[in-house]
Structure 1
């Protein structure tokens, strides 16, 4: 059985051209008689590289109905991710192509970055690093230099939007810091016993953290009205999906000091356009990381092992 991994470099530069630990694809490769891994694959290259494959492994390559129809040998698609929005699942089902993903491999890594954003806003550590690098501390008239306000997370309220494995892990970590945690109901969804309404959650939240999937209900959930319901001292953290936030509305809210700041690991289009309103130089108190929350070495290896476990079962059944 032949498998092709169309975008192996999305797991980090596994070919060893960077300083990060290498992702070991061996458990996955060992599932197949032939395993071909490509760094990245353009839309024009998908058919040629996949035409003889029984299995496609991919993270971000789009596999739409037209593409799948041109791959008569294809029996399975393994996502190197949890989300499956890059695949036309209805077309795959009609064509008898099985689709697999891996859940819960990056829970701690994503929760860790969520807390990192909150800690950075609490201590303003990044800004104080920069002051030292710029020589400001060396010129201080006393032993300390606190040019940015510092607060404690203890006693602050965190509102979670989304309460799956990642949301629950964030709650656990936040509770360890002495934070109060509330779970906000997403409008349009049934209210659960552990939830309060969004209108109740936002006015009391010091931090709002997103851990929900991108759906019709959550697209542009964070908009002008949402931000105006928050405290002016509150922060938004997004390690979920970029389009959950209306980016123009967030840029305006930050510039007009409607909210205090935002920490984002995701944007609506990735890599982002230079014209993204959140990348403008005049947007204050905004920290953006390049979709790294999932990408700890440990999470990558759990992902690879999860894919291997799926594929062992699939090969055994075929």
Structure 2
């Protein structure tokens, strides 16, 4: 009898059907779990499900009965993978579920910033139209998407799906080689060259020690003047204070951020503190959140559990 504990069930909207595994089990779920509650709640668990609850070595050391961790997301930085490998704990994640939702969010952000939709909305609210006394007014530049160059950093399923949509819109798409790489793989351009030549940079790589603050002041300075940065990957990929400075100086034309270094974020976060900037578009980590995508995630989560119990673990990390 498997003992399954879902530590943060509220990360999956309740209108989404979460099936139950076909094998014999006991299921316990909690809306959310604070760090001090983790060990107690997982004391009897053989399978832990977590979306964002952190399971580090100190916690896992106190859970010798735990055999599997099922991450209800793609990102794995909240689980100590080295400890799990050393102690035979299977870790699985979710893959390929948001290849429609995230790319559409990226393109929506791209159009909104390129055409300054939010800035014009703010101007209408402020009464600018009445002041201009014309049938229309142009207080912000409106750029074309077609014919511009999209630089993709991270060439997994999401990066590839964004590239496909961008190509259909008439954009030129280039993929960046890993930062610091000496040579380039076929089909990739040097990291710095992509920064310098792309009109839009979109980030789709995992957060790791190597990618933390991958885009900071030096990289932002290399970016083409007036270019855009869109981050639907992980908040830590970008130094948020440096990004705000690049927007305030006018070096960048705009930015769209769906992810933050701390989630939920607060007023101390540079992005939130500068949310009134007309060329900064913020969304609360919802790029993945189309109902169809989340249902696919829920189904795959249970498939991962059933594969493990059947002796055929899948999507292991």
Q: Structure 1-normalised TM-score? A: 0.89
Cα offset, 1:265, TM superposition? 0.8
Q: Which runs of 5+ in 1 are unaligned?
A: 15-21
Equivalent residue number for residue 315 of structure 2: none
Cα offset, 1:10, TM superposition? 1.0
* 1:159-204 Cα deviation digits (max 9, x unpaired): 1111111111111111111111111222233511111112322232
Cα offset, 1:149, TM superposition? 2.3
Pairwise CA RMSD of aligned residues?
2.2
Cα offset, 1:78, TM superposition? 0.6
- 2-side partners of 1:138 and 1:284: how far apart? 19
Greater CA deviation, 298-307 or 93-102? Answer: 93-102
Q: Which runs of 5+ in 2 are unaligned?
A: 313-317
2:286 to 280, 286, 292: 292
1:92 to 81, 84, 102: 84
Cα offset, 1:72, TM superposition? 2.9
List aligned pairs for 1:101-140, cutoff 5 A.
Answer: 101-132=93-124
Q: Does 1:258 align with 2:251?
A: yes
- 2-side partners of 1:162 and 1:287: how far apart? 21
- 1-side partners of 2:222 and 2:191: how far apart? 9
- How many residue pairs get matched? 309
Cα offset, 1:243, TM superposition? 1.4
2:212 to 219, 229, 244: 219
Cα offset, 1:73, TM superposition? 2.5
Q: Does 1:247 align with 2:236?
A: no
Greater CA deviation, 189-198 or 178-187? Answer: 189-198
Equivalent residue number for residue 301 of structure 2: 307
- 1-side partners of 2:22 and 2:29: how far apart? 13
Q: Does 1:272 align with 2:273?
A: no
* 1:77-128 Cα deviation digits (max 9, x unpaired): 1100112221122222333321111111112211111111110012222333
3-state SS of 1:275 partner:
coil
List aligned pairs for 1:177-216, cutoff 5 A.
Answer: 177-189=169-181, 190-216=183-209
Equivalent residue number for residue 33 of structure 1: 25
Cα offset, 1:137, TM superposition? 5.2
* 1:259-298 Cα deviation digits (max 9, x unpaired): 1111111111212232122233475521111111111111
Equivalent residue number for residue 237 of structure 1: 230
Cα offset, 1:68, TM superposition? 1.7
- 1-side partners of 2:223 and 2:61: how far apart? 48
Alpha carbons of structure 1 residues 229 and 307: separation in structure 2 relative to 1, 3 Å: same
Q: Is the 8 A contact 2:113 2:281 kept in 1?
A: no
Q: Does 1:167 align with 2:168?
A: no
3-state SS of 1:212 partner:
coil
3-state SS of 2:184 partner:
coil
Q: Is the 8 A contact 1:239 1:266 kept in 2?
A: yes
- 2-side partners of 1:148 and 1:220: how far apart? 30
- 2-side partners of 1:84 and 1:56: how far apart? 14
Equivalent residue number for residue 2 of structure 1: 3
Equivalent residue number for residue 11 of structure 1: 12
* 1:213-244 Cα deviation digits (max 9, x unpaired): 22333222212221222222111111111111
Alpha carbons of structure 1 residues 31 and 141: separation in structure 2 relative to 1, 3 Å: farther
Alpha carbons of structure 1 residues 181 and 49: separation in structure 2 relative to 1, 3 Å: same
Greater CA deviation, 137-146 or 285-294? Answer: 137-146
